[in-house]
Amino acid sequence: MWDGRFQKETDAAANDYNTSLPFDCRMYAQDIRGSMAHCRMLCRQGILTSEDADSILAGLTGIKADIDSGVLTFDSDAEDIHMFVEAELTRRIGDAGKRLHTGRSRNDQVALDIRLYLLDEVKEIRELVMKLYRTLIDKAAANITTIMPGYTHMQRAQPITLAHHLCAYIQMLQRDVSRLDDAAARMNFSPLGSGALAGTTYPLDRESAASELGFSGVTDNSIDGVSDRDFAIELAGTFSILMMHLSRFSEEIILWSSQEFAFIELDDAYATGSSIMPQKKNPDIAELTRGKTGRVYGDLIALLVVMKGLPLAYNKDMQEDKESVFDAIDTVKGALVPFTGMIATMAVRRDRMELAAAGGFTNATDLADYLVRKGLPFRSAHEVSGKLVKYCLDAGISLLDVKIDEFRSFSPLIDEDVYEAISLITCIKNRTITGAPSPDTVQAALKRAARFS
């Protein structure tokens, strides 16, 4: 490729170190797609003859078909996917293949390829997230009245429903999808035509090539066009937030499936056993998801560190962008599929959840609210309720087990209607403001969630 300037072959070790083909070969379809659009644009602009363009397009079509089918394998001596395709094209059609690179550089070529590749992957990952999203909607809809304790500081706090709890993750996934869409929109500009860094003297029609490739426009500065990797970093950041959400959920699945909680039981298809302890049923999918979240964080940090000290425009350091963002993609996709299956098939222990809500004094706030409605200031009501909780703890009973005369010894305002007021289902049904856990409110929230696409 650079025989005109260099007189010696590249050292074998240096060549191995320099090559990116082992990982950028996955972009072959995007590389060929971009080359075909570039070829057609060159022909329209009179830079290539129609005969050469037809030959190039036929050659590229054949190369893609042969790679797809496995007939053509990647040459380990090629420096990158761009040079592999160009060399193979020239081998097949002769000098016409050498004309394809007119008006472009590998700098804008790789910037184009990675944008096309990431845009394709975002579509696939978005659908995987939406599949999990719809799974959560279905699981929530089946548990509108499944009472469980809500937690703060990992202490039982107030009664909620499992549906209400799952709706929190539904909201997180909505934001994840929105971030994917936003990242794709900012990525959707073609750098083709930026050349090495200063464009070209050929009369290229960048806009028509961009339109053919499905971009919403072209990059506005040739230096930024080849040196920008914000889109890869933003996507890795979006993946990191998504994985953080899956990790938080995984932590709860791990806790809930333990014997100490026993809120759920994982399906055998999404759990593993022990080689030595026959009673074990391990939540490995959740644990791996929790662990792989750190891996995606690492990919984000690697991208940030690679880019942080680079002068404009292109530098070879930027070759390191691909392995990190590709790994993040593979990890996210690898997590979403089994995670969705795990959630879809897990069995809910409604009895255990309700027992935990009843035994954790989660209705203590509602007792205080009851006293407020009777005319007691909230701070005083809070104190009375706290004293009753202490009384119950000492006696080993719940608030609902307290006799009416015992209640009245703490406050004469308490009457027989207290039992209805602090029953768990009443505590939940009375929370009817937007975003709260009453069944009607959650039903409305799920209807809104179902409209999100």
Task: List active site positions.
Answer: 153, 274
* Angle made by CA atoms 317, 303, 105, in degrees to the nearest 5: 45
**Amino acid (1-letter code) at residue 51:** E
Place of tokens 């938080």: 248
Residue 117's CB is within 10 A of a number of other CB atoms, namely: 22
For the range 422-425, what are the long-range contacts, defined as Cβ-Cβ under 8 Å and sequence gap of 24 or more? 422/363, 422/366, 422/367, 422/370, 423/363, 424/147, 424/159, 424/354, 424/357, 424/358, 424/362, 424/363, 425/145, 425/147
Cβ 81 vs Cβ 113: under 8 Å: yes
For residues 213 and 340, give the distance between their C-alpha atoms in angstroms, rounded to a whole number: 33
Which residues have C-beta within 8 Å of that of residue 281, sequence separation ≥ 6? 257, 265, 266, 268, 271, 272, 273
For residues 359 and 231, give the distance between their C-alpha atoms in angstroms, rounded to a whole number: 50
For residues 18 and 77, give the distance between their C-alpha atoms in angstroms, rounded to a whole number: 11
> For residue 35, which phi and psi values (nearest 5 degrees)?
-65, -35
For residues 264 and 258, give the distance between their C-alpha atoms in angstroms, rounded to a whole number: 8
Bridge partners, 272 (sequence order): 282
> For residue 50, which phi and psi values (nearest 5 degrees)?
-65, -30
For residues 257 and 200, give the distance between their C-alpha atoms in angstroms, rounded to a whole number: 62
For residues 265 and 431, give the distance between their C-alpha atoms in angstroms, rounded to a whole number: 29
284: buried, middle or exposed (CB in 10 Å: 19+, 13-18, 0-12)? middle
* Angle made by CA atoms 92, 36, 110, in degrees to the nearest 5: 100
